[in-house]
């Protein structure tokens, strides 16, 4: 009786389409992580409207929490990016943070990853295409977010420091050298600039791989821990007891990792922004 409930949801690297389409059907793009991104953004929008329905000077509980989140993010970003840039960059960075955080924590709800189409295996029903799957556990989503940020980063830094300033940031002679020394070191700094460009080009990859890797590894960790009793083919009732008790600490770990990865994504994006939009007067000659 017990073995029918075992669900070994092995996550595949790419997010399969929810509706198992035979041929080229219209809903091919609706993968389970895209569906969850709709659900998550709908939840965020509903919560935001709920909090800002009637704004009172003495805030109600929802509004109070919402204000705390927005104010905290504003101060954090301002402390990194500087008061001038924060007005421009706050909306994108805060949205990225909130979306990643909510989708990471949404992934810890019971239904995600364990309900869906699958096949009967001797070890019980195995879910092959779960309906719900955390959006950040899908490389497309994290890469999309990272690329969107890089486009904005390029636009902001060029509009902030100008094309000449932007190129000077990368290839310019740094360290306040002047005169003959500067001329002598130009080829060196050109080479440094090339390395700088390579590292800038790799930033979206590292941002997206870090977020994707952490969340994907967390999902796999949880599903392995849940099915640990079954894998060690212990007797059913021990396996059932293990599958309930073992994952509990890992759920707390996942809550922390979800928050940490969202914070890291936000911090790194604002640090990258600050690096390339800092005006000359701050560097000091």
Partner 1 sequence: MIPHILAAAAETASGISGSFTLAIAGAAAAIGIGMIGGKAVEAVGRNPGASGKVLTLSIIGMALAEAIAIYALILAFQGR
97-103-62 Cα angle (round to 5): 70
Residue 270's SS3 state is helix
Report the interface residues with partner 1, using CB under 8 A: 13, 76, 79-80, 206, 209-210, 212-214, 216-217, 220, 260, 263-264, 267-268, 271
CB of 104 to partner 1, least distance (A): 15
Which positions ≥6 away from 35 have C-beta within 8 Å?
18, 131, 132
CB of 265 to partner 1, least distance (A): 9
CB of 231 to partner 1, least distance (A): 16
Nearest CB to partner 1, comparing residues 234 and 259: 259
Nearest CB to partner 1, comparing residues 177 and 264: 264
CB of 137 to partner 1, least distance (A): 12
Nearest CB to partner 1, comparing residues 36 and 77: 77
CB of 259 to partner 1, least distance (A): 11
Nearest CB to partner 1, comparing residues 134 and 239: 134
DSSP assignment of 60-121 equals -HHHHHHHHHHHHHHHHHHHHH-HHHHHHHHHHHHHHHHHHHHHHHHTTSTTTTTSEEEEEE
Q: 142 and 135 in contact (C-beta within 8 Å)? A: no
Which positions ≥6 away from 88 have C-beta within 8 Å?
156
Nearest CB to partner 1, comparing residues 150 and 267: 267
CB of 12 to partner 1, least distance (A): 10
Nearest CB to partner 1, comparing residues 34 and 221: 221
**Cα separation, 159 vs 269, whole angstroms:** 17
Closest Cα partner for 109 from 133, 92, 129, 88? 133
CB of 76 to partner 1, least distance (A): 8
Instruction: Collect contacts of 223-227 with beta carbons under 8 A, ≥24 apart.
Output: 223/8, 223/9, 223/10, 223/11, 223/113, 225/250, 226/7, 227/6, 227/7, 227/8
Closest Cα partner for 42 from 102, 104, 107? 102
Nearest CB to partner 1, comparing residues 146 and 239: 146
């Amino acid at each position: 009786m017990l073995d029918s409930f075992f669900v070994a949801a092995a996550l595949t690297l790419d997010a399969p389409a929810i509706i198992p389409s035979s041929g080229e059907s219209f809903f091919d793009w609706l993968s389970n992580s895209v569906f969850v991104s709709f659900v998550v953004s709908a939840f965020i929008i509903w919560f935001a409207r709920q909090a800002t329905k009637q704004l009172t000077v003495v805030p109600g509980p929802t509004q109070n929490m919402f204000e705390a989140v927005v104010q905290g993010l504003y101060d954090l970003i301002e402390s990194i990016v500087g008061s001038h840039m924060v007005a421009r960059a706050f909306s994108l960075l805060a949205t990225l943070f909130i979306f990643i955080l909510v989708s990471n924590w949404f992934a810890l709800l019971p239904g995600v990853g364990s309900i869906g189409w699958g096949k009967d295996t001797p070890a019980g029903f195995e879910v092959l295409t779960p309906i719900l799957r955390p959006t950040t556990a899908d490389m497309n989503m994290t890469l999309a977010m990272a690329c969107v940020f890089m486009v904005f980063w390029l636009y902001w830094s060029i509009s902030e420091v100008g094309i000449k300033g932007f190129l000077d940031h990368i290839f310019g002679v740094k360290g306040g050298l002047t005169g003959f020394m500067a001329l002598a070191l130009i080829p060196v700094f050109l080479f440094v600039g090339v390395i700088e460009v390579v590292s800038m080009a790799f930033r979206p990859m590292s941002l997206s791989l870090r977020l994707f890797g952490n969340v994907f590894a967390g999902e796999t960790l949880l599903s392995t821990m849940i099915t640990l009793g079954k894998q060690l083919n212990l007797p059913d009732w021990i396996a059932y007891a293990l599958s309930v008790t073992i994952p509990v600490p890992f759920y707390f770990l996942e809550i922390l990792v979800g928050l940490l990865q969202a914070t890291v994504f936000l911090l790194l994006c604002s640090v990258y922004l600050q690096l390339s939009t800092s005006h000359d007067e701050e560097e000091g000659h």
